[in-house]
Structure 1
Amino acid sequence: MNGKSVLMVTFEATPFVKVGGLAEVPSNLARYLSSLGWRSLVALPSHAPTGSRGEKIIDSFTTPMGEVFVGIGTWYNVTFLLFSGSVLSNSAVYSEDVMESKVKLFATSLSIFLSRADELLGGFPNIIHFHDWHSVYSLIKLKHDFPSGKWYSAFHIHLLVKRRIKPEIFPELGVPLDWVHEIRIDGRKETYTLEEALARSNFIAEKVGAYEADRLITVSKAYLHDEVLPFLGHGFSEKSRVIYNATDWTFENAKAEVLREHGNNIIDFSGETNLNRRLDLRKYFLLRGIASLRSEEPVIPDERIKKIIQDISLPPLRENGKPEPFLFDGPLAITTGRLARQKGFDLMVEAVPRVLRELGNAKFVFLVLPVWGGEDYIYQLADLQRSYPENVRVIYGVAPSIYKLAHLASDVFFAPSRWEPFGIMALEAMATGNPLVASRTGGLKEIVLDVNDHGDKGTGLLVPPGDPYELGEALRDMLAFMEASNTGNLGWYLKKIGNEKLVRLLEEYPDAGEILRKNCIERVEKYFSWSASAATASAIYGELLKG
């Protein structure tokens, strides 16, 4: 492969497979790296029947685990290699029932395919960038099968899950435990057998990846220093780098998309032809738009989860998981993300009642992706919306037709994560002008500028992770603050706000809510673009290519 080339290895990637924020990273890095002169490829399991994602089949082969097909798809200037067949076509992306089989077959298949890279790709990639623990088996398999010096590796930790590696899998992959090879630690190269390297890593996937890769990458400085290095060991500091996640969302593009999709309906609903007022968008979203999902929405890929949602579809949740509209308008807070303990949505079970005691007209909309293993959170949020049908709606699954509408209609975005390596959802919220109430953890504390510290330059409020009481008070304060600014009714809402900084801001600037919205938009545009992140990645790859 002539020139500079990079292959991303991942379990999910936009636009083909998306479960969480990880999907955005390999695809968008690859997209913007291509504009910097890199030939960019992304390899992933299809998690779908062969050909069903529109890929063109270019290779097939038989493995001990079944027949595998490799298809090519494209997105912008990026080539996607989708591996399907056997367990790789199972739609459950992260189900424990198939996880071990998937990572094994993917690693084997990737190696077989790359053995013909000269023929199929025009050459072997210069850089292979492995994303999260699912790719560690592939990292070791490729490192064993292809000579060192031909290519360089980067291992990217998006979320530290401390997954245990099974040593017996490697001989099944054709990698003997007595394989002798080099690893890099404390700035020097050392020679180990694979068995010794695994033991030194305590058989933890992320530690194995950190030892074996030429570079260790994660998503924020806070996450690197607060979580990753304390767990892996500070001997990895020398090889560690940070690539911020990013977003390609802009306020104007989001608004244009929403008006294309909903503009006529908003005009019919409101009677207004000037659609620049967010309050009009909010009222439309709450009273009509939220219930106008397309027939196939919300999309839930996992059939087992879909059955659970159907079973709990009682008002205000209609059949097939479609929500009923609200009856009345009110200050709106939204959130997005996977239904997992990490995201802290269960904390809202206690936080919401605290808000409603002071702000009875507040609305909360959860746009969440239910995943296997998070069934308890499905039931908890279902109980919450049944307890507060005038205030809470939960959309379980992907609903593209209203996703950006919800962001433009919202007053506040809440991110109650117990831990959050980065938080792309926070960037999407800020790009659409939403101040955040977020946990002071990981990347969130780098993204959000706390009003308590930054005053009128702030972009939200930070609260201690895992504390529903602080979370509820901050949400009450920020919703009241934004509604006071929206309506000009300072007298009513000021007495609802306990945060003195917010009170003083409103007293000094009656339009302080708009100031915070502007701060949010400008911060994302300046610091969290994919072009900037791709430039960082390119520089890291350049270090490796120089040797």
Structure 2
Amino acid sequence: MKIWFLTFESKDTKKVGGLAEVPPRLGEALKKMGYEVEIIVPNHGFIQGYRGDGLVRLYSFKTLYGDLEVYMYTKPSVKHIIISGSVLDELEIYSPKYLMDKVKVWALGIKHYYEVLEERRRPDIIHGNDWLSVPSLVLLRSIDKSLRLYYQIHLLSKTYFSLEDVTYDLGLDPSNKIYGLYGLKSIREYYELSNGYADRLGGLLSNKLLTVSKNYVREVVRRTGFDLEDHVDYIPNATTWRLDDILEKLKTIHPEIKQYLSIDSIIGYDRINIRKYLLLKALRDLGKNEPIVDDRGFREFLEKLDIPPFTGKGRVEGFNEDGPLVIMTGRVSRQKGIHVLLRAFEDIVSILPEIKVLLLLLPVWSDLSLINDIVEHSILFRENLRVIFGRAPSIYGLAHIASNTMVAPSIYEPFGLIALESMVCGSPVVASYTGGLAETVVDIRRYGVIGTGLHITPSDCFELAHGLTDMVLFMETLYYKPWSREWIRLVERIDNRVLRELLISNPRAPLLVRKSCMKRADQYSWDNSAKKALLIYGGK
């Protein structure tokens, strides 16, 4: 069986967010099981900047938007097909200036690539990912009405297409007949059934509408239409993180703390030594050329940012002293709840003045006001907050094994891969009760030491401030002798009665929670996700 994944970004070419991880990882697991897999991506300037081997030009052709080229990239474990030319060569993946044109040109490139292949080399399954793949699915469905198409929503969009977007601009007549959920109808009829809403149109034209978690299925149905309820399933995301691999890599990057980089150390007391090293030294002394920022405009913004704790070029001062550590990772986006964390920050510091918060964020220009708010809070709360905009490989894994807890205050979150990455490293997660986070995070207040964090109501600053500080203090007790004066003081500062009583009845509870986090993360593997995908593909 041959499977194509259509994805607008990939970890092996150009990446902005979590979507870039999913199709390649799922593809790797399916390939390992013996299936033939290709990842189809736009260029986004990758080819022009690539200097390695494994890149071969396959075809070129003319389209409504100019000349396009198809490249095969074989260096990744799963073969990538890269569509290049016209606006697809623009570096910024999601630039509003080019985005809709990129989507259409990419669709035309995929169509031409499909048509030029001999029938025996064409895919049996085409798996589109997010709204950006919908015009491609329309085109492919118009070519081959019997194609098995699957459309997966990783994050519900707000995108609406015009009829021209999915017909004339793709070289299609609206009267052309295509198969979908309601049988053989014209593209115009399916467009009208969808009201132009991208995610509904993708669902109507697919053999199955997919998402990434059981909990998110309800939201997908609510947004795309209740007539699709029996048409929706999910393939859970997973993580490739392995604690042994992280520790071995960190031993090379940070040999001075090699003696602490073992599983026993990061579960137990020695984790505090890793934290001190991160906060006082490693954060200040980032690796060469870190942080890595792809967007030229944002690099220029960071170069000029030198008001303490920023020191220019995106680098920051270390903290002056150690303290309980919270980390947050992901895109700069209100969807991730960063603005909620900022609104709660004064209360957080008031409750726990010694707290340290480290934000490791991928910058996105779409919300400049949010970026400015983050910068202003970093300057205002210089003793408590640091933010790194961009990728910082030298400290990314280190931050995870040093932290007391991860915070994920998302407004909505289809899956929430960052929670699993945290739990792999034994860090519980304070997360909004939404989407996948409602499944991956198990609330300690309800399930005790088999829990992996705390749930809070999305957008609730009060719950966030108290839940986060409680979780931090709960885990901080691990570094003090039970029933010592310092330990008792920490326990007394915890606001939640259930957490206090859990510690009093079992002072080893934080250690057991760390182990529960690791065990929980192990349940989410790409092999299991691939098995679920095959069950779905096996249906009609």
What TM-score results when the alignment is normalised by the length of structure 1?
0.93
Asked if 1:64 corresponds to 2:64, the answer is yes
Residue by residue over 1:293-338, the C-alpha shift from the partner in whole angstroms, topping out at 9 and shown as x without a partner, is: 2232212222222233334332101111011111111100001011
Which of 384, 387, 408 in structure 2 is aligned with 1:391?
384
Q: How far is the alpha carbon of 1:76 from its aligned partner?
A: 5.3
Asked if 1:166 corresponds to 2:133, the answer is no
Match of 2:465 in 1: 472
Residue by residue over 1:181-228, the C-alpha shift from the partner in whole angstroms, topping out at 9 and shown as x without a partner, is: 2211xxxx4332111211111111001000011111001111111x11
Q: How far is the alpha carbon of 1:98 from its aligned partner?
A: 0.5
Instruction: Give the number of aligned pairs.
Output: 528
Match of 2:221 in 1: 229
Deviates more, 1:67-76 or 1:151-160: 67-76
Q: Distance in 1 between matches of 2:261 and 2:215?
A: 48
Give the share of equivalent positions with the same residue, in percent: 35
Q: Distance in 1 between matches of 2:89 and 2:283?
A: 33
Long gaps (5+) in structure 2: none
Q: How far is the alpha carbon of 1:540 from its aligned partner?
A: 1.0
Residue by residue over 1:438-465, the C-alpha shift from the partner in whole angstroms, topping out at 9 and shown as x without a partner, is: 0011110011101121112111000000
CA contact (8 A) 1:414 1:437 kept: yes
Q: How far is the alpha carbon of 1:352 from its aligned partner?
A: 2.1
Q: 1:421 to 1:179 in 2, by over 3 A?
A: same
**RMSD of Structure 2 on Structure 1 (CA):** 1.9
CA contact (8 A) 1:486 1:511 kept: no
Q: How far is the alpha carbon of 1:516 from its aligned partner?
A: 0.8
Asked if 1:27 corresponds to 2:24, the answer is yes
Q: Distance in 2 between matches of 1:260 and 1:197?
A: 56
Residue by residue over 1:470-518, the C-alpha shift from the partner in whole angstroms, topping out at 9 and shown as x without a partner, is: 1011111011111112233321211210111211121122222111111
Match of 1:253 in 2: 245
Q: How far is the alpha carbon of 1:130 from its aligned partner?
A: 0.1
Deviates more, 1:399-408 or 1:326-335: 399-408
Residue by residue over 1:211-255, the C-alpha shift from the partner in whole angstroms, topping out at 9 and shown as x without a partner, is: 011111001111111x11011122212221110010011222222
Q: Distance in 2 between matches of 1:73 and 1:513?
A: 46
Q: How far is the alpha carbon of 1:178 from its aligned partner?
A: 1.1
Match of 2:521 in 1: 524
After TM superposition, list the pairs within 5 Å mapping 1:298-313 onto structure 2.
298-313=291-306
Q: Distance in 1 between matches of 2:449 and 2:75?
A: 40
Q: How far is the alpha carbon of 1:144 from its aligned partner?
A: 0.9
Q: Distance in 2 between matches of 1:505 and 1:370?
A: 39
Match of 2:257 in 1: 266
Q: Distance in 2 between matches of 1:84 and 1:314?
A: 41
Q: 1:49 to 1:411 in 2, by over 3 A?
A: closer
CA contact (8 A) 1:43 1:80 kept: yes
CA contact (8 A) 1:40 1:77 kept: no
Asked if 1:542 corresponds to 2:538, the answer is yes
CA contact (8 A) 2:250 2:261 kept: no
Match of 2:5 in 1: 8
CA contact (8 A) 1:50 1:85 kept: no
Q: How far is the alpha carbon of 1:359 from its aligned partner?
A: 1.6
After TM superposition, list the pairs within 5 Å mapping 1:145-294 onto structure 2.
145=143, 147-149=144-146, 151-169=147-165, 170-184=167-181, 189-225=182-218, 227-262=219-254, 264-266=255-257, 277-294=270-287
Q: Distance in 1 between matches of 2:232 and 2:140?
A: 21
Q: Distance in 2 between matches of 1:366 and 1:434?
A: 15
Q: Distance in 2 between matches of 1:337 and 1:271?
A: 25
Q: Distance in 2 between matches of 1:486 and 1:255?
A: 21
After TM superposition, list the pairs within 5 Å mapping 1:112-511 onto structure 2.
112-118=112-118, 123-145=121-143, 147-149=144-146, 151-169=147-165, 170-184=167-181, 189-225=182-218, 227-262=219-254, 264-266=255-257, 277-488=270-481, 489-511=486-508
Q: Amino acid of the residue matched to residue 163 of structure 2?
A: P
Q: Distance in 2 between matches of 1:432 and 1:77?
A: 26
Q: How far is the alpha carbon of 1:392 from its aligned partner?
A: 0.5
Q: How far is the alpha carbon of 1:275 from its aligned partner?
A: 6.1
Report the secondary structure of 1:483's partner residue.
helix
Match of 2:73 in 1: 73
Q: Distance in 2 between matches of 1:44 and 1:231?
A: 27
Report the secondary structure of 2:195's partner residue.
coil
Q: Distance in 2 between matches of 1:206 and 1:271?
A: 45
Residue by residue over 1:22-42, the C-alpha shift from the partner in whole angstroms, topping out at 9 and shown as x without a partner, is: 111100000000122210110
CA contact (8 A) 1:316 1:393 kept: yes
Q: Amino acid of the residue matched to residue 84 of structure 2?
A: S
What TM-score results when the alignment is normalised by the length of structure 2?
0.94
CA contact (8 A) 2:305 2:313 kept: no
CA contact (8 A) 1:70 1:82 kept: yes
Q: Distance in 1 between matches of 2:136 and 2:534?
A: 22
Residue by residue over 1:148-179, the C-alpha shift from the partner in whole angstroms, topping out at 9 and shown as x without a partner, is: 22x31000000001211121122121111111
Q: Amino acid of the residue matched to residue 89 of structure 2?
A: S
Q: Amino acid of the residue matched to residue 183 of structure 1?
A: G
Q: Distance in 2 between matches of 1:333 and 1:74?
A: 39
Q: Amino acid of the residue matched to residue 157 of structure 2?
A: V
CA contact (8 A) 1:49 1:84 kept: no
CA contact (8 A) 2:141 2:178 kept: no
